[in-house]
Structure 1
Amino acid sequence: MATIPAVMRAARYFGPREFRVVEVSRPDPGPAESLVRVRAAGLCHSDLHIIFDELGGYPIPTPLTLGHEIAGDVVAVGDAVDPSLIGQRVAVFGPAGCGQCRYCREGRDHLCIASRPLGLARDGGYADYVVVPAHALVPVPNGVSDAEAAVATDAVLTPFHALTRVGQLRPGETVAIIGVGGLGLNAVQIAKALGAFVIAVDVVPAKLELAKQYGADRVVDSRQLDPAHPPVDRPITLVADFVGAEATKLLAQQLVARGGRVVMVGLATPGGTMLGLRLIADEVAVLGSFWGTRQELATVLDLIARGLIRPQVETHPLDEIGQWVERLRAGEVTSRVALVP
């Protein structure tokens, strides 16, 4: 490891609204860990919720290097890790389950009770290097760029899990995707790949136009949408909310057909109105969806390699992360940004 710098850059969270790039000592991998040279790290709205203290008291350790969407090269491994990993291109499974609890044994490692997610509970990927549990590494197929691999770990994995495992989307169903930003645009592509009729709902014309280009059958400005008169003459049996504001949660419950499912993914606000009578009388299921599994990450990387999903991502230098945090917060990012060290 003598050729690897002892000091590196990292974008660190020191407390609410205290977030900046600093120099820190480069970490060494433990026995079951790997050291990854970061090639790209995706910027996520969840990072904004942390930086601007919008998680309603959810505990975030400080100081902490943020960044949970990570892709890079393995440059060193611990004593208990296969050294043949060195040199491999990898994406990082952010939840990094323990592999031992019942959730991990059931293949639901994103719900691991002992998980310390990268960039949320342990140092993440807004840095030159990051230490990662070796079992959290997923090979990146040929044909998938570093930036695509990074955002696949959340911005593609999360909607894939929400629509397939949680929402149980079936071919021929009609699905409404509320919010077609970084995750929602990928959800449109995933739903189309699964054979669904897709309605994209947003308030930003540019995002709706992108959704149309990426396969949406119908695009609708939610400000002009009357839930009592849906924009199609077929039941909307699945609604996925990738915004999570009070207004979008309400719209999702109003828009879904009798016996349908609503999947909540976005975290814009922690609370919201529940339409108790509607949910009970019409047997509407409201389901929460969080991230996705390691196996699903391998699947979405394969889908990207095969050209079935094309994540929209733009790259910028890590040193510019502060301005891109502000631009994302101001709604000036159409799809997804990856920071490149």
Structure 2
Amino acid sequence: MMGATMQLARIHGPGDVRLDTVAVPEAGPGEAIVRVAACGICGSDLSYIAQGGLGGPLGEPLPIGHEFAGEVVSAGPGVDDRIVPGLRVAVNPDDAYIGGGGPEGAMAHYIRVTQAKIGSTLYPLADHVEYGEAALAEPLSVALHGMRLLDVQAHHKVAVLGAGPIGLCAVAMLRHLGCTDIAIFDRVDSRLDRARALGASLAVNTAEESLSDALCRFHGEGNRFGARFAQTDVFIDCVGVEAVLQEVIAIAKYKARIAIIALYKKPASVDLFKVMANEILISGSIADDRKPEFGEALEMIAGGRQDLSPLISHRLDFSQFTDALAIARDAVQSAKVMLTFNQEPA
């Protein structure tokens, strides 16, 4: 493929994302080239596009795309001899910050994977696992990592805040962990319907009933220091809205746990007296080191015991990139929008 070119999605400034023509990458020492077959559009991709990068000025265009799977087409010197052309893989983007500040992005037909290692960056796929489902390993492992930090157990009563793609992945992984007492909250009925299909026990539109009232009704309630609390053990914040976090802290019980998986775009004010008085544990989770969870998510996918089809709302060819972004921005009609790469680059 020497001298060949392809299109790569890169951000040039706020609201300015382009398909740039670049050279098809070649594998150097310790590297593999993967032909991308499927790449999900993440909410962080949309945020990076809107703000023009990762929060600071761009020194050069920023490649995007980090939820992907495909096929190895070549490997450089020094690579594990199991990494051979034709190997079907899902890729953990963490080590090289693929699509998240690093020099590579997976919204392209080919991508260079540095530090190419089985079980670290490259995870072989079972023959029956299709690429779109394999690409879900990234967002599923994001949710699972946040739960592992809080040691979520099957008996826990859990509330998921937000039924966007990560919130939906949280429901799927909670069911994987054996949880059955799962409530989820959003303002979009279509997303709540998807959450029910994935196994949420209670799905509430907060425009119709408050989070506090619904949790007290569903998980039970009590009183501590003259204040009502819900019997919810764990809260998974996948929405990133200050008012929602404030309500959670106000209704949280003694020793409740909160995982912050959501992307907060500005500082949030919280009631630290409540956090102290109720010994509430708040844990941030960026999923920057989740190799075990990535592998576990793929094993869950391959096991086929859960129907993950509600997670993917749309599959569009990379040639429809602009349309795919517009759909992904529409919370009413979309969940996970998956780009597919069925045509070779010109």
**Greater displacement, 265-274 / 324-333:** 324-333
C-alpha change, 1:126 and 1:333, in structure 2 (3 Å) is farther
TM-score (norm 1): 0.87
SS, match of residue 21 in structure 1: strand
**Equivalents in 1 of 2:69, 2:54: separation in Å?**
30
- CA shift, 1:233, in A, is 4.1
SS, match of residue 218 in structure 2: coil
**Equivalents in 1 of 2:328, 2:150: separation in Å?**
28
TM-score (norm 2): 0.86
Q: Following superposition of structure 1 onto structure 2, how do residues 34-73 of structure 1 map, counting pairs within 5 Å?
A: 34-53=32-51, 57-58=55-56, 62-73=60-71
- In the alignment of these two chains, the number of paired residues is 318
Q: Following superposition of structure 1 onto structure 2, how do residues 93-104 of structure 1 map, counting pairs within 5 Å?
A: 93-96=92-95
- CA shift, 1:185, in A, is 1.2
**Equivalents in 2 of 1:282, 1:308: separation in Å?**
38
**Equivalents in 2 of 1:253, 1:308: separation in Å?**
35
C-alpha change, 1:333 and 1:90, in structure 2 (3 Å) is farther
Alignment equivalent of 1:284, drawn from 280, 283, 293: 280
C-alpha change, 1:209 and 1:332, in structure 2 (3 Å) is closer
**Equivalents in 2 of 1:275, 1:28: separation in Å?**
52
- CA shift, 1:49, in A, is 1.1
Q: Following superposition of structure 1 onto structure 2, how do residues 97-246 of structure 1 map, counting pairs within 5 Å?
A: 116-120=96-100, 121-133=102-114, 134-135=116-117, 136-153=121-138, 155-163=139-147, 165-196=148-179, 197-223=181-207, 224-225=209-210, 227=212, 230-234=216-220, 235-246=231-242
- Cα deviation, 1:101-156, whole Å, max 9, x if unaligned, reads xxxxxxxxxxxxxxx30012221100010000212111122332101111212x21
SS, match of residue 17 in structure 2: strand
Task: In structure 1, list runs of 5 or more residues that go unmatched.
Answer: 97-115
**Greater displacement, 11-20 / 220-229:** 220-229
CA contact (8 A) 1:56 1:270 kept: no
- CA shift, 1:60, in A, is 5.3
Aligned to 2:303: 306
CA contact (8 A) 1:55 1:270 kept: no
- CA shift, 1:221, in A, is 1.7
SS, match of residue 243 in structure 2: helix
**Equivalents in 1 of 2:52, 2:251: separation in Å?**
27
SS, match of residue 41 in structure 1: strand
Task: In structure 2, list runs of 5 or more residues that go unmatched.
Answer: 221-230, 342-346
**Equivalents in 2 of 1:35, 1:48: separation in Å?**
26
CA contact (8 A) 1:34 1:78 kept: yes
CA contact (8 A) 1:31 1:79 kept: yes
- CA shift, 1:54, in A, is 7.3
Aligned to 1:88: 87
Letter in 2 for 1:117: Y
Seq. identity, %: 29
- CA shift, 1:248, in A, is 2.5
- CA shift, 1:333, in A, is 4.2
CA RMSD of aligned residues (A): 2.0
CA contact (8 A) 1:159 1:187 kept: yes
SS, match of residue 308 in structure 1: coil
SS, match of residue 230 in structure 1: helix
Matched, 1:266 2:266: no
SS, match of residue 232 in structure 1: helix
